Amino acid sequence: MHVVLTGGTGFIGSHTCAALMEAGYDPILIDNLSNSTLEVHRRLEEMTGKRIPFIQADLRDPASYEDVFTTYNVGAVIHFAGWKAVGESVEKPLDYYHNNLSGTLQLLSLMEKYKVTRMVFSSSATVYGTPQITPIPESHPLETLNPYGRTKLMLEQILLDWFHALPSMRIAVLRYFNPAGAHPSGAIGEVPTGTPANIMPYITQTAAGIRPKLRIFGNDYPTADGTGIRDYIHIQDLASGHVRALDHINGSPPMYDTFNLGTGNGWSVLELIRTFEQITGQTIPHTFAPRRPGDVAVCYADPSKAESVLGWKAVHTLEDICRDAWRWESREAELYHSR
Ligand code: WQD
């Protein structure tokens, strides 16, 4: 089955592409390269030994990618494309609404035009806002604290309205917790643009000497060691969750459902640093800084619905995340310096 991956050269899209091919799917990548590079596409073809159709296009310009739906018999779309930096979304809300909302609306109209009835949508635990209970179930109240989170919640609601209007649709919404790590081959991984907002790439860049030290945002949270707790999920587990979701909707009558993709465990920032140092032998110089606006104290998933309905469970450990993230950073640093 041909599956269109929007945002296909991004961190999650590229790893899902590799996992889909292993499962016998035929991915087609669409990306505007605003937050990724063509090198990712080259490496995916090198890793898999297969050609992978790639279209450089912005979803807001349907004419630039409409012929994907006439060239291929597209069975499903996995929609990753979107900007996801919380802080940036506060500074540039209109950019986020244009990119994340308008792009998606153009995509949905093309799907409707060409009768593509299967969709997996990349959402985020950010739609839960400040957790009222942990672990967080899918039934948790939804609220959003920033423009980025609001685009994700609005898009979930748009998809639900669309499903009610088009009863032939099969839609799975996946709410990611904290994706981290890299493909074990070291060939693909997280490529942050500029200064990393997320902690894992900041840690690996600190270990590589690219950053002098890590600032820990807040050590006065109501947690055992005072630092924030998150559910770090290995990118390979996230990728397999997408394959299982696609398998599920393929075999399902029309549906709309949401699933948490997390491990069900929470680790503090200090626990993450300690694990990284133990696994890699690298030291992470760090200082304590004030809390980051918008951060919550504790956020980790109840993944039991994905386990029971999708037959999916995260299998990688925090140690695996640290090991694979460091292999990726070290290899990239080596390649960078060899250029
Ligand atoms: C994790 C922990 C920070 C950086 C964000 C988005 C979320 C999703 C994942 C898209 C927190 C602490 C971080 C640093 C630190 N993205 N930290 N120093 O904020 O949980 O989630 O990324 O879907 O929507 O909100 O991830 O990696 O930024 O932070 O101390 O330099 O690390 O305070 O406790 P977050 P994060």
219-228, Cβ contacts within 8 angstroms, sequence gap of 24 or more: 219/270, 219/288, 220/291, 221/291, 221/297, 221/298, 222/297, 223/268, 223/297, 223/298, 224/268, 225/268, 225/270, 225/271, 227/268, 227/269, 227/270, 228/268, 228/269, 228/295, 228/296, 228/297, 228/298
User: What's the rounded Cα separation, in Å, for the pair 200 and 273?
Assistant: 9
Atom of ligand 1 nearest to the CA of 198: 27
Q: Which of 230, 275, 300 is the best mutation target for the ligand 1 pocket, counting ligand atoms within 8 Å of the beta carbon and taking the most?
A: 230
* Cα-to-centroid distance, 244 and ligand 1 (Å): 26
* Cα-to-centroid distance, 250 and ligand 1 (Å): 33
> Which helix H or strand E contains 12, and what residues bound it?
helix 11-22
Question: Does the pLDDT value for residue 185 go beyond 70?
Answer: yes
pTM given for the model: 0.97
Give the sheet arrangement for strand 26-31, strand by strand. 54-56, 26-31, 2-6, 74-79, 118-124, 170-176, 255-261
Report pLDDT for 60.
97
Residue 103: exposed, middle, or buried by beta-carbon count in 10 A (0-12, 13-18, 19+)? buried
Report pLDDT for 167.
87
Report pLDDT for 247.
98
* Buried-exposed string 242-257: b where 16+ CB fall within 10 A, e elsewhere: bbbbbebbeeeeeebb
Pairing, β 286-289 against β 54-56: unpaired
Q: What average pLDDT score do residues 158-184 get?
A: 97
Say if the ipTM goes beyond 0.90.
yes
pLDDT band for position 335 (50/70/90)? low
Question: Does the pLDDT value for residue 338 go beyond 70?
Answer: no
Q: What average pLDDT score do residues 156-167 get?
A: 97
DSSP 193-245: SSS-SSHHHHHHHHHTTSSS-EEEE-S-SSSTTSS-EE-EEEHHHHHHHHHHH
Locate all alpha helices (DSSP H) within 23-169, ordered by sequence.
Answer: 38-48, 68-71, 86-91, 93-96, 103-113, 147-165
Report pLDDT for 193.
83
- From the list 65, 148, 176, 300, the catalytic residue is 148
User: What's the rounded Cα separation, in Å, for the pair 62 and 80?
Assistant: 16
List pLDDT tens digits, range 200-222: 999 999 999 999 999 999 999 99
- DSSP assignment letter at 43: H
Residue nearest to ligand 1 atom 10, measured at CA:
84
- The alpha carbons of the chain give a radius of gyration, in whole angstroms, of 19
Report pLDDT for 225.
98
Q: What average pLDDT score do residues 110-124 get?
A: 98
Question: Does the pLDDT value for residue 7 go beyond 80?
Answer: yes
**Residue 128 bears catalytic tag:** no
Question: Does the pLDDT value for residue 272 go beyond 60?
Answer: yes
Report pLDDT for 339.
52
List pLDDT tens digits, range 242-269: 999 999 999 899 999 999 999 999 999 9
Q: What percent of the chain has pLDDT over 90?
A: 93
User: What's the rounded Cα separation, in Å, for the pair 328 and 184?
Assistant: 8
The residue that leads in pLDDT, 334 or 232, is 232
Report pLDDT for 327.
97
Residue nearest to ligand 1 atom 19, measured at CA:
295
Q: What average pLDDT score do residues 5-13 get?
A: 97
* Cα-to-centroid distance, 111 and ligand 1 (Å): 33
User: What's the rounded Cα separation, in Å, for the pair 268 and 298?
Assistant: 9
Question: Does the pLDDT value for residue 3 go beyond 90?
Answer: yes
Q: What average pLDDT score do residues 70-77 get?
A: 98
pLDDT band for position 316 (50/70/90)? very high
Class of domain 2-180+233-262: alpha beta
